[in-house]
């Protein structure tokens, strides 16, 4: 295929020379002369002569071509099974089963070409029949004939080649599997315990239990007499045997109940006991066993332990596919940077065993939890598959559909998530402590059992390979092997620089076979292997050496890091009950004497934890944990490196650390805050395009929050550098404001206006005000709360010194006179809420802010601060511990409202809630670590927010509140 004809396949390359350089690194390119192969699709019209009327007999079978192609090879298949004593008694039936599997694969490879053929013949009027159904039937009848197969093969020679390869590989795979199994039964490799003993015969063979690799080979399920089932795997299973032996030794030495599957090894192949997949034991000890198993997998640097590779056996979790042991490795040339992302890659999270959500690139709102402990049946799949639409007519078409994943659930359903998490952590810690205490023994076992064994190397996601295979099945690539091969070079995009061209060439060769590329590592080598041949030296050290390095480096700090990651993986799974504080009716006044000291202790503990968990890459601190990546998703939380937003990212943590450093007089916290913010601010100053992209999130989600955190932290830490560059970034906001579409307090110009008044740089203040009043709101829902509603906007305008009577009037309409509560919105007048974002606490904060700005508020129960405060005191606690929409935030709101309640009752309520929080509620929550508020580190909904809220409640640090962006020491400002 000529280079100029290949250019449309690589739109990423606009420069022909660059494209030539990319392709020539992988393959020797043909001379760029001559004409490309002509499109012969129109020659399908030749089939019209053979499309004659026949009496319709039975339903239309669109797989008639695939069935006819495969049926030609049934005799060869029967010979395979007739030659083994395991299958000779039912050779014909076994041949039929193999041919059915082959027909399904042929159909997948040819369906798009068949749709094109049907469409061309229909448009040419060549198909007999008066109705669409009759024409479809005649096409299916035609597709099963020899002349159709011959003509299709001439027009689409690459399809003919591919089907020939697929057929030969299928027969070869069946023959190899049967010969190996027959020999293993004969020589005793497969004992009676595996086959049932007596007259050993196979009763059933199930094909395609996994992807095909290395010449059409795949995992098979073998059923012997007495329903004795084992699994055949067409690769070495020495690693599985070593794994089973190691787990058995650990179980005996440490007293752990860890089941394993029996393994029998042949020459280059193996067999494994079939997991019974019985229901999990409905007890907490299931998760304790899961935690211990997770500890073993982490020791072995395992990956890919998702819901298909770990199943239940005898009621407990068991690994059914251990091919990805020793797969978490550091690449050659990638010296440890200490970055948060690299830190995460070498924790338990890389096993794939924990709850692990992945997103669908085609639909940002969709995701699936593929982790063994997170999977639930019925989730929407993230990988679309081809399907026929409008079948039953003569106009079917191939479309990509996304169905559900219905693999049975494995985890017990009756154990509460909080108990699950506690037992999982307990089991993991037990395994860690045992291994750390006997690391010399463990190292000796690793060296003995895992020396020079093959394990799988996953170099690219299976989804990307499948996408390429589906694209390559288009008729445009079925006419020329050269065109298909050229298309498959796309597998090297962005990767040929990281993997050698030999790896990419091997991927292309496997894809041309219709297989998913398969690579291996050897535990004693730094090379990647393809079909037992070393092709690329890519690792910094051999996998076994890296695992032993990890064993030797086990420490208390690493233990705690991994436990934090385990907990972070559950942030979206533990229910509200795990996060809800419980209060006494009232706390004795004498018990409140130690509250200031307890606040300092809690703030100090949280700050120290965040300080000690920071990772460093090139002098840039970062954190890993649970963070919100995309708020449009139903499940927005991910375990990842924390981002650069104020709400759930590094700037929020830095702002808290700076304030905590002042309260506690801890220079290390102030310095970490400065070090975390300086490089992030400088990166934004240097990247105008990024600033425009990150304007839309406002103070909480955009770069304005980074600048605000830098200005506040610079003032608190005394860093002139941070203050200066923070102000420089802040001053760029007016130019990027057109990219902001929201006007609310959390992510829009109302919050920006409030923060700008605090910062005191008039150009930004004026720009934020103009944006706020100029942005149309017609047609949008009207919310009452502070973060997203009228309360926050009116508070910001009051601080600016301007009144908007029409907005105030609209706000007052949200008071539900009948129910005597503030409605969430004009579209839900019956619903009340209990947090800062929506409902009464946000309304109370809004009125308190307007009063602090010198504005009067309406008379009546809707704006009666003492009455609203009583509602918040009664209904606004017992939710969760977060600053954004939980008890800590509501404590600050109640505390602020106390100033406007002359009776002193609000102040008394706030004092009691603060005392109970710091003496009873928080110590228990921080020990249990099961609620969302203490499973993540964020400022608004996590640990940093808990610390910041308590810190602000002391009144000892002049720092802006994340709820108002106003410093407590400032009562009234003018623009």
Q: At residue 385, does pLDDT exceed 90?
A: no
Ligand-binding site membership of 700 (annotated): no
For 485, 588, 890, 896, 964, the CA distances from 911, given in Å and listed in that order, are 73, 11, 12, 12, 21
Compare 843 and 337 and report the one with higher pLDDT: 843
Q: At residue 900, does pLDDT exceed 90?
A: yes
Q: At residue 197, does pLDDT exceed 90?
A: no
DSSP assignments along 71-101, one per residue:
HTTHHHHHHHHHTSTTTGGGHHHHHHHHHHH
The pLDDT-based confidence of 1 (bands split at 50, 70, 90) is low
The pLDDT-based confidence of 97 (bands split at 50, 70, 90) is very high
Compare 832 and 901 and report the one with higher pLDDT: 901
Residues 387-428 pLDDT 10s: 888 888 888 888 888 777 777 777 888 899 999 999 999 999
Q: How far is CA 382 from the centre of its chain?
A: 11
Residue 973 dihedral angles phi and psi, to the nearest 5°: -125, 155
Q: Average of pLDDT values for 190-196? A: 92
Ligand-binding site membership of 884 (annotated): yes
**Six-digit token pair at 368?**
């699936």
Q: What percent of the chain has pLDDT over 70?
A: 96
The pLDDT-based confidence of 974 (bands split at 50, 70, 90) is very low
Angle at 661 between CA 658 and CA 666, to 5 degrees: 145
Residues 480-509 pLDDT 10s: 999 999 999 999 998 877 778 999 999 999
Q: Average of pLDDT values for 65-77? A: 96
Q: Average of pLDDT values for 686-690? A: 95
Q: At residue 82, does pLDDT exceed 60?
A: yes
Q: What percent of the chain has pLDDT over 90?
A: 71
Residues 419-447 pLDDT 10s: 999 999 999 999 999 999 999 999 999 99
Q: Where are the domains of the chain?
A: 38-232
Q: Provide the pLDDT for residue 176.
A: 96
Residues 868-890 pLDDT 10s: 999 999 999 999 999 998 999 99
Q: Average of pLDDT values for 301-315? A: 91
**Six-digit token pair at 497?**
């620089």
Q: At residue 378, does pLDDT exceed 90?
A: no
Of 837, 772, 852, 755, whose CA–CA distance to 807 is shortest?
772
SS3 of the chain: helix, strand, coil, percent, to 5: 50, 10, 35
Q: Which of 447-451, 480-484, 591-595 has the highest mean pLDDT?
A: 447-451
- All residues at 6 or more sequence positions from 339 whose CB lies less than 8 Å from its CB, including other chains: 615, 616, 617, 618, 620, 622, 641
Other Cβ atoms closer than 10 A to 706:
28
Other Cβ atoms closer than 10 A to 646:
31
Residues 616-657 pLDDT 10s: 877 789 999 999 877 777 788 999 999 999 999 999 999 999
Q: Provide the pLDDT for residue 338.
A: 61
Q: Provide the pLDDT for residue 35.
A: 63
Q: At residue 817, does pLDDT exceed 80?
A: yes
Q: What is the mean pLDDT of the chain?
A: 91
DSSP annotation of 902 reads: T
Q: At residue 682, does pLDDT exceed 90?
A: yes
Least confident of 322-336, 429-443, 757-771: 322-336
Question: Are residues 435 and 554 in contact, defined by beta-carbon separation less than 8 angstroms?
Answer: yes
State the pTM of this model: 0.90
Question: Are residues 258 and 292 in contact, defined by beta-carbon separation less than 8 angstroms?
Answer: yes
Least confident of 53-57, 746-750, 758-762, 930-934: 53-57
Instruction: Kindly report each contact of residues 167-170 with a partner whose C-beta sits within 8 Å and lies 24 or more positions away, as own/partner.
Output: 167/69, 167/70, 167/73, 167/102, 167/106, 169/212, 169/215, 169/216, 169/217, 169/513, 169/514, 170/98, 170/101, 170/102, 170/105, 170/216
Q: Provide the pLDDT for residue 973.
A: 43
Q: Average of pLDDT values for 96-125? A: 93
Q: Provide the pLDDT for residue 576.
A: 87
Q: Average of pLDDT values for 778-788? A: 87
Q: Provide the pLDDT for residue 335.
A: 55
Q: At residue 806, does pLDDT exceed 90?
A: yes
Instruction: Kindly report each contact of residues 541-546 with a partner whose C-beta sits within 8 Å and lies 24 or more positions away, as own/partner.
Output: 541/329, 541/330, 543/301, 543/326, 543/327, 543/329, 543/455, 544/326, 544/446, 544/447, 544/450, 544/451, 546/301, 546/326, 546/329, 546/330
Q: Which residues pair with 529 in a beta bridge?
A: 520, 534
Q: How many residues does the chain have?
A: 975
Residues 857-866 pLDDT 10s: 898 889 999 9
**Six-digit token pair at 510?**
């496997």
Residue 809 dihedral angles phi and psi, to the nearest 5°: -65, -40
DSSP annotation of 196 reads: -
Ligand-binding site membership of 265 (annotated): no
Question: Are residues 933 and 728 in contact, defined by beta-carbon separation less than 8 angstroms?
Answer: no
Of 506, 499, 565, whose CA–CA distance to 530 is shortest?
506
């Amino acid at each position: 295929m000529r280079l100029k004809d290949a250019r449309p396949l690589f739109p990423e390359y606009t420069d022909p020379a660059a494209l030539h350089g990319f392709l020539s690194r992988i393959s020797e390119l043909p001379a760029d002369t001559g004409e490309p192969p002509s499109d012969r699709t129109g020659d399908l019209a030749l089939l019209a002569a053979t499309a004659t009327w026949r009496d319709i007999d039975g339903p239309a079978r669109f797989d008639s071509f695939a069935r006819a192609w495969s049926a030609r090879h049934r005799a060869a298949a029967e010979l395979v099974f007739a030659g083994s004593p395991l299958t000779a008694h039912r050779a014909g039936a076994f041949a039929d089963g193999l041919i059915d599997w082959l027909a399904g694969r042929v159909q997948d490879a040819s369906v798009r070409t068949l749709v094109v053929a049907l469409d061309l013949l229909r448009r040419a009027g060549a198909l007999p029949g008066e109705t669409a159904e009759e024409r479809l039937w005649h096409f299916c009848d035609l597709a099963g004939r020899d002349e159709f197969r011959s003509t299709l093969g001439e027009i689409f020679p690459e399809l003919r080649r591919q089907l020939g390869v697929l057929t030969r590989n299928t027969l070869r795979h069946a023959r190899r599997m049967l010969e190996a199994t027959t020999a293993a039964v004969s020589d005793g490799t497969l004992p009676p315990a595996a086959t049932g003993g007596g007259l050993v015969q196979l009763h059933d063979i199930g094909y395609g239990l996994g992807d095909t690799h290395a010449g059409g080979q795949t995992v098979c399920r073998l059923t012997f007499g007495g329903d004795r089932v084992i699994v055949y795997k067409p690769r070495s299973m020495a690693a599985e045997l070593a794994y089973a032996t190691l787990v058995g030794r650990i179980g005996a030495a440490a007293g752990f109940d860890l089941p394993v599957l029996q393994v029998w090894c042949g020459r280059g192949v193996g067999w494994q006991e079939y997991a019974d997949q019985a229901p999990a034991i409905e007890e907490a000890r299931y998760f304790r066993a899961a935690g211990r198993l997770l500890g073993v997998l982490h020791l072995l640097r395992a990956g890919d332990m998702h819901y298909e590779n770990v199943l239940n056996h005898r009621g407990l979790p068991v690994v059914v596919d251990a091919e990805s042991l020793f797969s978490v490795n550091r690449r050659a040339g990638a010296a440890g940077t200490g970055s948060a992302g690299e830190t995460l890659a070498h924790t338990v999270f890389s096993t794939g065993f924990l709850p692990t959500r992945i997103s669908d690139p085609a639909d940002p709102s969709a995701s699936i939890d593929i982790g063994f402990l997170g999977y639930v049946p019925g989730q929407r799949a993230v990988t679309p598959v081809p399907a026929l639409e409008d079948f039953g007519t003569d106009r079917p078409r191939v479309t990509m559909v996304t169905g559900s994943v219905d693999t049975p659930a494995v985890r017990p359903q009756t154990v509460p998530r909080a108990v699950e998490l506690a037992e999982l952590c307990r089991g993991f810690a037990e395994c860690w402590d045992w291994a750390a205490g006997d690391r010399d023994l463990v190292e000796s076992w690793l060296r003995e059992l895992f020396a020079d064994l093959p394990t799988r190397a996953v170099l690219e996601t299976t989804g990307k390979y499948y996408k390429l295979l589906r694209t390559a099945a288009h008729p445009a690539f079925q006419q020329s092997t050269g065109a298909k091969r050229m298309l498959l070079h796309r597998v090297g995009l962005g990767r040929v620089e990281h993997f050698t061209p030999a790896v990419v060439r091997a991927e292309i060769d496997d894809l041309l076979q219709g297989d998913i590329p398969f690579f291996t590592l050897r535990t004693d080598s730094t090379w990647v292997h393809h079909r037992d041949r070393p092709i690329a030296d890519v690792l910094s050290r051999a996998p076994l050496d890296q695992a032993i390095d990890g064993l030797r480096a086990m420490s208390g700090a690493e233990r705690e890091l991994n436990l934090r990651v385990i907990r972070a993986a559950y942030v979206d799974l533990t229910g509200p009950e795990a996060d809800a504080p419980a209060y006494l009716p009232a706390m004795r006044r004498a018990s409140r004497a130690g509250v200031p000291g307890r606040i300092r202790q809690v703030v100090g503990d949280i700050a120290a934890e965040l300080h000690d968990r920071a990772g460093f890459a090139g002098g840039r601190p970062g954190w890993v944990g649970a963070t919100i990546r995309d708020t449009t998703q139903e499940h927005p939380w991910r375990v990842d490196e924390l981002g650069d937003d104020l709400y759930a990212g590094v700037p929020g943590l830095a702002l808290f650390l700076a304030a905590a450093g002042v309260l506690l007089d801890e220079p290390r916290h102030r310095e970490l805050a400065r070090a975390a913010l300086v490089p992030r601010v400088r990166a934004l100053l240097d990247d105008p395009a990024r600033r425009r992209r990150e304007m839309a999130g406002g103070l909480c989600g955009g770069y304005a929050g980074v600048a605000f955190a830098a200005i506040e932290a610079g003032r608190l830490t005394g860093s002139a550098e941070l203050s200066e560059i923070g102000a420089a970034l802040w001053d760029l906001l007016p130019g990027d404001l057109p990219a902001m579409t929201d006007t609310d307090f959390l992510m829009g110009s109302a919050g920006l206006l409030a923060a700008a008044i605090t910062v005191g740089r008039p150009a930004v203040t004026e720009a934020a005000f103009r944006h706020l009043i100029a942005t149309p709101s017609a047609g949008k829902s009207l919310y009452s709360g502070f973060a997203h509603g009228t309360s926050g906007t009116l508070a910001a305008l009051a601080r600016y010194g301007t009144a908007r009577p029409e907005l105030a009037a609209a706000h007052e309409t949200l008071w539900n006179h009948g129910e005597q509560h503030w409605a969430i919105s004009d579209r839900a007048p019956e619903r009340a809420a209990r947090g800062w974002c929506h409902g009464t606490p946000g309304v109370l904060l809004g009125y308190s802010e307007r009063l602090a700005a010198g504005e009067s508020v309406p008379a009546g129960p809707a704006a009666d601060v003492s009455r609203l405060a009583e509602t918040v005191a009664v209904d606004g606690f017992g939710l969760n511990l977060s600053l954004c929409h939980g008890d800590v935030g509501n404590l600050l709101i109640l505390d602020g409202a106390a100033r406007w309640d002359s009776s002193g009752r609000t102040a008394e309520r706030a004092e009691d809630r603060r005392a109970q929080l710091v003496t009873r509620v928080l110590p228990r929550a921080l020990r249990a670590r099961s609620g969302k508020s203490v499973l993540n580190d964020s400022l608004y909904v996590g640990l940093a927010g808990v610390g910041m809220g308590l810190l602000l409640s002391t009144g000892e640090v002049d720092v802006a509140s994340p709820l108002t962006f106003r410093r407590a020491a400032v009562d009234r400002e003018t623009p």
